[in-house]
Amino acid sequence: MAEVLVYVDHVDGAVRKPTLELLTLARRIGEPVAVALGNGAADTAATLAEHGAVKVLTHEAAEYADYLVVPKVDALQAAHEAVSPAAVLFSSSAEGKEIAARLALRIGSGIITDAVDLEAGDEGPVATQSVFAASYTTKSRVSKGTPVITVKPNSAAVEPAPAAGTVEALSVTFSDQATGTKVTGRTPRESTGRPELTEAAIVVSGGRGVNGAENFAIIEALADSLGAAVGASRAAVDAGWYPHTNQVGQTGKSVSPQLYIASGISGAIQHRAGMQTSKTIVAINKDAEAPIFDLVDYGIVGDLFDVVPQLTEEIKSRKG
């Protein structure tokens, strides 16, 4: 059976959920072979094996942390040469897309980004994409070379599928370009204790209607009652009420949770681009004409300062 390379997104050996989703998709096309790089690479193997990786190629070197993107491209190119895979899969993070693109160019292949589904096809994997702010669904495939595909988080379920997960050292020679862009400082993002925005099953977002940084406490309280991540519109971020890392939309994160709750958000096209594929959409807005209501499964026309706290209380009392 053909092998499929899966690039592992991990932090010091802790595998991020989108990578496990990739393993689910990879199994539809062939046998997943994972590639884990940098500090803690070998520690990823047990989790990857549980989710279907037949092999885990690892390589640790300081270059992966000290220089931007290119060392990882060199490693993926080495893995591509070693394995001759049927496809190479990445999760659609900013870095994942950049590594994928440069790899594709080097190996003479086409690249598809931001797939929301992947199936085996007669002429190679077929990727489903959601385009024009999710107003169209397309099916595409790579027509030259080894398909290189990046997949959005929450596009597939994480499924246990025990496999060997044999760890093998990958041999990598860094290119001249590898040390071109130096990382001279790194400030890790502080954890809020809430789920990762792109990975969360429920996202609770606030917009301009929240009207102040301190009022985001209302949004956070609702999120916490549901175990949800907190999102924000660009208007709320630009106003300085909430960090940019929480922005949902075209120039923020693209989310696809089971449930998206928008409060005080009008639903501009650039915001919709980042949340329109959510399964269930709920909005609270005092303007009955707000475009967000075109998307909702359930909408409340009302003041968020009345509705949201009442909702939070009701959830808490129902959960006991």
Ligand X SMILES: Cc1cc2nc3c(=O)[nH]c(=O)nc-3n(C[C@H](O)[C@H](O)[C@H](O)COP(=O)(O)OP(=O)(O)OC[C@H]3O[C@@H](n4cnc5c(N)ncnc54)[C@H](O)[C@@H]3O)c2cc1C
Interface ranges with ligand X (CB under 6 A): 207-209, 233-236, 247-252, 264-266, 268, 270-271, 274, 284-287, 290, 303-305
How many CB atoms are closer than 10 A to CB 190? 7
157 lies in the site for other proteins, by CB under 8 A: no
Strand order in the sheet with 31-37: 126-131, 111-119, 148-151, 87-91, 3-7, 31-37, 55-59, 166-169
Which residue in the set 39, 77, 93, 211 belongs to the binding site for other proteins (CB under 8 A)?
Answer: 93
Which residue in the set 160, 166, 280, 287 belongs to the binding site for other proteins (CB under 8 A)?
Answer: 280
Beta pairing, strands 148-151 & 87-91:
parallel
Residues 67, 71, 75: CA angle, nearest 5 degrees: 160
203 to 232, contacts with other proteins by CB under 8 A?
A: 226
Residues 103, 56, 128: CA angle, nearest 5 degrees: 50
* Nearest distance, CB of residue 250 and other proteins, angstroms: 7
Residue 287 interacting partner from ligand X, other proteins, none (CB closer than 5 to 8 Å by kind): ligand X
* Nearest distance, CB of residue 214 and ligand X, angstroms: 14
Distance CA 4, CA 71 (A): 21
Best CA proximity match to 88, nearest among 51, 59, 115: 115
- State whether residue 201 is helix, strand or coil: coil
184 lies in the site for other proteins, by CB under 8 A: yes
Closer CB to ligand X, 30 or 249, in the complex: 249
Enclosing H/E stretch for 282: strand 280-285
Residue 209 interacting partner from other proteins, ligand X, none (CB closer than 5 to 8 Å by kind): ligand X
250 lies in the site for other proteins, by CB under 8 A: yes
Which residue in the set 84, 240, 245, 287 belongs to the binding site for other proteins (CB under 8 A)?
Answer: 245
Size of the site for other proteins (CB under 8 A): 89
134 lies in the site for other proteins, by CB under 8 A: yes
Beta pairing, strands 166-169 & 55-59:
parallel
Residue 110 interacting partner from other proteins, ligand X, none (CB closer than 5 to 8 Å by kind): other proteins
